[in-house]
Amino acid sequence: MNIAVVKPTRRKLDLRNGRVDLSHGAGGRAMGQLIEDIFHTAFDNDWLRAGNDQSAFTVPAGRMVMTTDGYVVSPLFFPGGNIGSLAVHGTINDVAMSGAKPLYLSASFIIEEGFPLADLAKIADTMGAASREAGVPIITGDTKVVERGKADGVFISTAGVGILPEGIDMRSNAARSGDCVIVSGSIGDHGVAVMSKRENLEFDTDILSDSAALHTLTAAMVAVGGTSIRLMRDPTRGGIAATLNEIAHQSSVGFRIDEEKIPLKPEVAAACEFLGLDPLNVANEGKLVAVVAPEAADAVLAAMLAHPLGQEAALIGHVVEDPHCFVQMETSFGGGRIVDWLSGEQLPRIC
């Protein structure tokens, strides 16, 4: 028996000039092709190719963590990365900040009608590369298309799961008076890199986003610091000012930090002067803040300095008792000041 199976010719997506249209989100063949040609190609793993609505994996008994973040960065492409690298790194980092080893990611795309297929492919390729480099595959995903004017290019929500080493149980309320505060490198690079390309703000600088997956750094830290690491946090939105204030309130402590010890690139400082911003409020995507028991601080810092992503790590201050939960900073000028959450959105100041 030799039945001629005539199958529709699979026309290739026009990755040069094509655009996402509503049919790409409608659950039909056009959507299947978009997912296959762009996402499966970029993420390249058997979980996705199996085409199930969920993916399975094996875990040992123990404690796991789960996290999610939505990515809505504008512009989508910026020096040092794009929304895709953020969506991978950011969620890996949120897993890693617990001390866990990130295992798998999911990715949900919400795409605006008209979005260039070339840009979508570029973003997906970046995600694939970031996920492979980190060894954390994207095993399940979803694609929605909304009408023009109902989104902003593309939004990505990733979720991540990881497994915790035995005994590790970091909590945001674990900081205690006397603990050391360590930052893993220079602050504000990401926010400045993004703002440099924002419409109406455009300025030129060589600063790149610091977007990076920090799980190998945290693994190295946990290896030497173990339970002496009280907690770790990646200072993203709101910068280290927001992170320290959050920890202060969650742990009911205060901080004393030293401006001079905080790693800061001159170009970032200069860009902040241009924009009237405080680098402490500016977002990072490849940095972490760790609160470490004093006896382990040197070892943890040494482990960080020995890691490529912690070469500029620095001990920037200490946890203090403070019923007001103030984050106080000794300025390089010599005076004291409070470091507060930013109020409202981070906007260039005129005043």
Partner 1 sequence: MKYIDEYRDGRLAKDIARQISEEVRPDVNYHFMEFCGGHTHAISRYGLEDLLPDNVRMIHGPGCPVCVLPIGRLDAAIALAQRPEVTLCTYGDLMRVPGSNGSSLLKAKAAGADIRMVYSTLDALRIAEAEPHREVVFFAIGFETTTPPTALALRAAIEKGLENFSIYCNHVLTPAAIQTILASPEVAKLGTVKVDGFIGPAHVSTVIGTEPYDEFAENFRKPVVVAGFEPLDVIQAILMLVRQINEGRYVVENQYIRAVKPGGNRKAQAEVAEFFEQRESFEWRGLGDVPQGALRLREEYSHYDAEKRFGLVTPASKDNPACDCGAILRGVKRPTDCKLFGTACTPDTPMGSCMVSSEGACAAHWTYGRFREHAKTKEIERSVA
Partner 2 sequence: MCLAIPVQVKEVLPDNMAKVTLDGVSKIVSTALVDDVQVGDYLVLHVGYALAKIDPEEAERTLELIREAALGEVA
User: Residue 337's binding partner, choosing from partner 1, partner 2, Mg ion, none, with beta-carbon cut-off 5 to 8 A by kind?
Assistant: partner 1
Binding-site string for partner 1 from residue 102 to residue 141, where x marks contact by CB under 8 A and - marks none: -----------xx---------------------------
Q: Which of 144, 141, 139 is nearest to 111 (CA)?
A: 144
Distance CA 160, CA 64 (A): 10
Say whether residue 68 binds a copy of itself (CB under 8 A).
Answer: yes
- Which member of 80, 128, 188, 238 binds a copy of itself (CB under 8 A)? 238
Binding mask 8-47 for Mg ion (x = CB under 5 A): ----------------------------------------
Please, what is the minimum distance in Å from the beta carbon of residue 109 to partner 1?
16
Between 182 and 201, how does the x/- string for binding to partner 2 read (CB under 8 A)? --------------x-----
Q: Cα(182)–Cα(167) distance, rounded to whole angstroms?
A: 22
Torsion of CA 286, 287, 293, 299, to 10 degrees: 70
Q: Which two tokens stand for residue 304?
A: 């960080």
Residues 210-229, mask of contacts with a copy of itself (x by CB under 8 A) = --------------------
- Cα distance between residue 25 and residue 32, in whole Å: 9
For residue 30, what are its two tokens? 């056009």
**Is residue 173 part of the contact set for partner 1 (CB under 8 A)?**
no
Q: Any contact of residue 69 with Mg ion (CB under 5 A)?
A: yes
Q: Out of a copy of itself, partner 2, partner 1, none, which partner does residue 335 contact, by CB within 5 to 8 A per kind?
A: partner 1
In the complex, minimum distance from the CB of residue 101 to partner 1, in angstroms, rounded to a whole number: 37
Q: How many CA atoms lie within 13 A of 219 on its CB side?
A: 11
Nearer to partner 2, 204 or 345 (CB): 204
266 binds partner 2 (CB under 8 A): yes
> Which of a copy of itself, partner 1, partner 2, none interacts with 267 (beta carbon under 5 to 8 A by kind)?
partner 2
The site partner of 206 among partner 2, partner 1, a copy of itself, none (C-beta below 5 to 8 Å per kind) is: partner 2
To partner 2, the closest distance from the beta carbon of 38 in angstroms equals 35
Interface with partner 2 in residues 24-63 (CB under 8 A) = none
Contact 270, 196 (CB under 8 A): no
Query: 84: left (phi > 0), else alpha (psi -120 to 50), else beta?
Result: alpha
Q: Is 269 in the site for partner 2 (CB under 8 A)?
A: yes
Spatial CA neighbour of 107 closest among 99, 117, 97, 90:
90
Task: Give the rounded distance of the alpha carbon of 333 from its chain centre.
Answer: 32
Q: What phi and psi, each to the nearest 5 degrees, are found at residue 31?
A: -65, -45
340 lies in the site for partner 1, by CB under 8 A: yes
Q: Which of 154, 126, 116, 139 is nearest to 13 (CA)?
A: 116
- Residue 234 in contact with Mg ion, rule: CB under 5 A: yes
Nearest approach, Cβ of residue 22 and a copy of itself (Å): 5
Does position 177 bind partner 1 by CB under 8 A?
Answer: no
Q: Could you give phi then psi for residue 32, rounded to 5 degrees?
A: -55, -40
Residue type, position 336, single letter: G
Compute the distance between CA of residue 262 and CA of residue 245 in angstroms, rounded to an integer: 16
Q: How far is CA 115 from CA 142, 156, 162, 194, 271, in A?
A: 17, 14, 33, 20, 31
Name residue 7's amino acid: K
157 is a site residue for partner 1 (CB under 8 A): no
List residues binding partner 1 (CB under 8 A).
1-4, 6-9, 11, 19-23, 28-30, 113-114, 148, 200-201, 266, 269-270, 273, 324, 326, 328, 331-338, 340-341, 343-344, 347-351
